[in-house]
């Protein structure tokens, strides 16, 4: 299984490109203190809105801060938000989906009606409403994105559990006296993790995009903490005279989201039994 997965994955050129982008993003975020040429928060009023040059390859912002340094440090912020928010969503969605799919009946009905109610609210506007009531901070953003992104995971895990709980290996576990918790966590859930893994990979891209949008609107990561979204905000205010403030962070967000989407699609294709030879 593992060998076949790796063989199919590495044959997918787009998946390889996505994995390279993700790995490079990790490296940049981990080595930010050494890769960034300047302090991301160092103000230089003599170098305000300087265009890209040898000293500042991505130019400077309205406070004279080096854009390249702020983007390198912002990569770590994006990864942190993406992974923590997605982790919260995956944890909640997996638990609720497992309970709904395994027990069925009124338990399933109650959980899925709650999912339907949550899906009635546009996710981004729900996040905006909650963030507006809380103090904008990176931790609040991660928690709110996670708490509003678990519904799709719940439906996916529920569907897997409904299918898997009737399989022979589950029936055999019941016959030998295995309890519900043992069956759920040791027998069914490991077999449902493939789809969860794909959803998590795609979810990281969505969380990064949401954080960037919130920071762009001024209710996300707050200055002076560097974030691709709040660099874009400065670009919006100076679009006529400082194109680099919009171009470079926008390109970084595009490449990052594309990388995670390609990786997620590649994992899904590699795990798809219909593509196995």
Please give the tally of structural domains in the chain.
Answer: 1
Evaluate if residue 260 carries a pLDDT over 50. yes
pLDDT at 2: 64
**Structure confidence at residue 273 as a pLDDT band (50, 70, 90):** low
- Domain membership flag for residue 49: no
CA distance 67 to 61: 6
Evaluate if residue 136 carries a pLDDT over 70. yes
pTM of the entire predicted model: 0.87
Evaluate if residue 135 carries a pLDDT over 80. no
- Domain membership flag for residue 206: yes
- Domain membership flag for residue 260: yes
CA distance 32 to 76: 8
- Domain membership flag for residue 48: no
Q: Could you give the angle at which helices 189-216 and 244-271 cross, rounded to 10 degrees?
A: 170
**Structure confidence at residue 272 as a pLDDT band (50, 70, 90):** low
Evaluate if residue 40 carries a pLDDT over 50. yes
- Domain membership flag for residue 143: yes
List pLDDT tens digits, range 23-33.
999 999 999 99
Q: What percent of the chain has pLDDT over 70?
A: 97
Looking up residue 32, the CATH number of its domain turns out to be 1.10.3720.10
Evaluate if residue 276 carries a pLDDT over 60. no
List pLDDT tens digits, range 75-110.
988 888 889 999 999 999 999 999 998 888 899 999
pLDDT at 54: 87
Of 200, 209, 258, 186, nearest to 81 (Cα)? Answer: 209
**Structure confidence at residue 277 as a pLDDT band (50, 70, 90):** very low
- Domain membership flag for residue 45: no
Q: Which domain holds residue 228?
A: 2-39+56-275
Look-up of token digits 């970084």: 252
pLDDT at 256: 92
> What are the b/e assignments for 215-245, b being 16+ CB within 10 Å?
bbeebbbeeebbbbbbbbbbbeebeeebebb
- Domain membership flag for residue 50: no
Could you give the 3-state DSSP secondary structure of residue 165? coil
- Domain membership flag for residue 47: no
Instruction: List all residues 6 or more positions away from 94 whose beta carbon is below 8 Å from its beta carbon.
Output: 153, 154, 157, 189, 196
CA distance 207 to 127: 11
pLDDT at 239: 83
Q: What percent of the chain has pLDDT over 90?
A: 30
């Amino acid at each position: 299984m593992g060998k076949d997965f790796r063989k199919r994955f590495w044959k997918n050129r787009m998946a390889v490109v996505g994995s390279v982008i993700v790995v490079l993003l990790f490296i940049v975020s981990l080595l930010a203190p050494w890769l960034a040429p300047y302090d991301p928060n160092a103000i230089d009023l003599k170098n305000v809105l300087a265009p890209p040059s040898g000293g500042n390859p991505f130019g400077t912002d309205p406070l004279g801060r080096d854009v390249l340094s702020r983007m390198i440090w912002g990569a770590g912020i994006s990864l942190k938000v993406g992974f923590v928010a997605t982790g919260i969503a995956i944890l909640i969605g997996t638990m609720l989906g497992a309970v709904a799919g395994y027990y069925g009946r009124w338990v399933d009905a109650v959980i899925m009606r709650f999912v339907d109610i949550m899906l009635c609210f546009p996710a981004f506007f729900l996040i905006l409403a909650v963030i507006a009531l809380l103090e904008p901070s990176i931790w609040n953003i991660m928690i709110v994105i996670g708490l509003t992104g678990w519904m799709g995971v719940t439906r996916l895990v529920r569907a897997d559990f409904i299918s898997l709980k009737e399989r022979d290996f589950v029936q055999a576990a019941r016959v030998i006296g295995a309890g519900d918790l043992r069956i759920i966590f040791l027998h069914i859930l490991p077999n449902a993790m493939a789809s969860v893994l794909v959803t998590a990979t795609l979810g990281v891209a969505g969380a990064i995009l949401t954080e960037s949008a919130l920071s762009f609107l001024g209710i996300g990561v707050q200055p002076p903490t560097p974030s691709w979204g709040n660099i874009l905000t400065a670009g919006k205010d100076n679009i006529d005279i400082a194109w680099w403030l919009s171009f470079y962070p926008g390109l970084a967000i595009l490449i990052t989201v594309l990388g995670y989407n390609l990786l997620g699609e590649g994992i899904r294709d590699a795990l798809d039994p219909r593509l196995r030879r």
